[in-house]
Structure 1
Amino acid sequence: MTTEKIDGVSVTTRANVYFDGKCVSHNLTYPDGTQKSVGVVLPAELNFGTGAPEIMECVGGACEYKLKGSDAWIKVGVGEKFDVPGNSSFDIRVHGEPFSYICHYG
């Protein structure tokens, strides 16, 4: 099931802008202190590092990703998720429509 709406959160209005604007996100804080981010990756091929483990949920568009240490590119679309280990990295490729996501971490 794809997350379409998030109620009851606090949103940081200042955008996180990465890779010369190819990735833009905003931080969300839930009443229980849980944090997530919502954002978009424009068409590009990028590498992201992680501190905490992450779950990337696709809510729009599609992407291909490759986890650190793997040679396999895996495609995900709307309603699909992928896990990224903590203290690691992943490559992401977006072609055509931007990739909109929710990043679950921490």
Structure 2
Amino acid sequence: MISTNEYFDGNVKSLGYTSADGKSTIGVMEKGSYEFGTSSHETMTVIEGILEVKYVGEDSWISYGAGQSFEVKANSSFQVKTEGQSSYLCKYA
């Protein structure tokens, strides 16, 4: 079954699903800055656009473009900002 998720007043929307590989979401972010919390390990792959990511305890931002992935530990948080619409695939472990 497909679930619908909406965050930050509708500026981030995703569809959640479960496949043979496990739980995933595929979503779109509007231009803006957001902070997400994690309950499980996440691997995010940018599909389109650029996501700038700042990890907990870090001072600098790292840019990820289409086809690039980054990982976030379980029970953590991270900040994301984008200068335009960007899409992503998030896999949960």
Q: TM-score, normalised by structure 2?
A: 0.94
Amino acid at match of 1:69: G
For residue 20 of structure 1, give the secondary structure of its aligned residue in structure 2.
helix
Note the C-alpha offset of 1:22: 1.0
Name stretches of at least 5 consecutive residues in structure 2 with no aligned partner. Answer: none
Name stretches of at least 5 consecutive residues in structure 1 with no aligned partner. Answer: 1-10
Please name the residue that 1:19 is paired with: 8
- What whole-Å deviation, never above 9, does each CA across 1:45-92 have from its counterpart, x for those lacking one? 010000001011001111100011111100000010001011000000
Q: What's the RMSD between the two structures over aligned residues?
A: 1.2
Point out the structure with max Rg over C-alpha: 1
For these two proteins, the number of residue pairs brought into alignment is 93
Please name the residue that 1:72 is paired with: 60
Say if 2:82 is the partner of 1:94.
Answer: yes
